[in-house]
Copies of this chain bind each other. A is one copy, B any other.
């Protein structure tokens, strides 16, 4: 196990009716906030009215900015920064899923940076603060409700980049599984693929002596997979949603990755799909991940055997570990299919034409100096291209 430094200060207020407390929870932080959200769904569902009533009841003034889309755009982030500055906003309340929260975080970071906030994404440089962010989660998926990360798409240059900064961890997040009841099934499935991938990126590592975090990863994976099939069948299953919703937070609150080298290759490869084709992140991950597994497993077969046995429930003869691994990958693919997720690039509408370009963008070869991605196995652009081809 590696040395580590862990701190996650986000308060998670979880369960039925918790959104009613948002104004009270905000009171210690701000008198004026930006209410940031996506489309009209929070107005249709009544959540907007609930939040507004709670803000009013607690004398919290608010300005609002809607319009966040999946793969959230830099242009709206710029607009948010202008608005927050003009209105002297003290906190950003993100009411939505990962895209809304990520957009809020980018605005929050931009408030503490004099240049174009996109510089931060390009350089990874830190800021000495950020506007506080709080969230009311409506889509469990990205884990952004307790992470310090944000992913933004600069639509002008078709580039999707992540950025992390300790100041971007939300001060609190409200997670009420009842708010997930009206999610369309494809959005549920995409979210589940994302949270599973957050665990995979930590789980598949060459670091050894990781009993505890291996076990925590496996328990969280098994729980999410079991209950995801229940909620996709019946999106009003509160108890199953509790497991999936809490699981999505645990998947990405950093604890599961402590003391382990991490991978993040699949996320890197998927971001290129989303940047050009604007596919849903989770759908892209469901396509890329099994292909990645097939391509890399031989470089550390033991952890893939462990995955097959401890997570996917494969049993049988260990004399042929390759067969155990392939059965595990097969069962994962079956799970994704049962969730209604795509399994090929073709199903995402992605043909051959940009595979090489995307591979070179993923490793930054396209921008000059190449940086291989991945931890379990270093992937150069030729490797990424092979994986994309396996995923056709």
Q: Which of A11, A222, A226, A242 lies at the interface centre, i.e. has the most chain B CB atoms within 10 A of its CB?
A: A242
Q: Mark A20-55, 1 if CB is under 8 A from B, else 0.
A: 000000000000000000000000000000000000
Q: Mark A246-262, 1 if CB is under 8 A from B, else 0.
A: 11001000010011000
Q: Which of A212, A223, A227, A259 lies at the interface centre, i.e. has the most chain B CB atoms within 10 A of its CB?
A: A212
A299 contacts partner chain B, Cβ-Cβ < 8 Å: no
A301 contacts partner chain B, Cβ-Cβ < 8 Å: no
Given A215-B220, A216-B216, A216-B220, decide whether A239 and B16 contact each other with a Cβ distance below 8 A. Answer: no
Which A residues, 188 to 221, have Cβ-Cβ distances below 8 Å to chain B? 208-209, 211-213, 215-216, 218-220
Q: Once the chains bind, are B11 and A6 in contact (CB under 8 Å)?
A: yes
A128 contacts partner chain B, Cβ-Cβ < 8 Å: no
A14 contacts partner chain B, Cβ-Cβ < 8 Å: yes
Q: Once the chains bind, are B5 and A13 in contact (CB under 8 Å)?
A: yes
Question: What interface size band does chain A fall in?
Answer: 35 or more
A56 contacts partner chain B, Cβ-Cβ < 8 Å: no
Q: Once the chains bind, are A222 and B215 in contact (CB under 8 Å)?
A: yes
Given A212-B247, A220-B212, decide whether A12 and B3 contact each other with a Cβ distance below 8 A. Answer: no
Q: Once the chains bind, are A255 and B255 in contact (CB under 8 Å)?
A: yes
A8 contacts partner chain B, Cβ-Cβ < 8 Å: yes
Docked CA distance A255–B6 (Å): 14
A143 smallest CB distance to B (angstroms): 14
A86 contacts partner chain B, Cβ-Cβ < 8 Å: no
Q: Once the chains bind, are B209 and A219 in contact (CB under 8 Å)?
A: no
Q: Which residue of B lies closest to A11 (CB)?
A: B7
Q: Once the chains bind, are B18 and A11 in contact (CB under 8 Å)?
A: no
Q: Mark A85-117, 1 if CB is under 8 A from B, else 0.
A: 000000000000000000000000000000000
A168 smallest CB distance to B (angstroms): 16
Q: Chain B residues near A242 (CB, 8 Å)? A: 1, 209, 212, 259
A58 contacts partner chain B, Cβ-Cβ < 8 Å: no
Q: Chain B residues near A12 (CB, 8 Å)? A: 4-7, 258
A157 contacts partner chain B, Cβ-Cβ < 8 Å: no
What would 6 more interface pairs be, CB under 8 Å, given A212-B250, A242-B259?
A1-B239, A5-B13, A6-B12, A7-B10, A15-B259, A212-B243
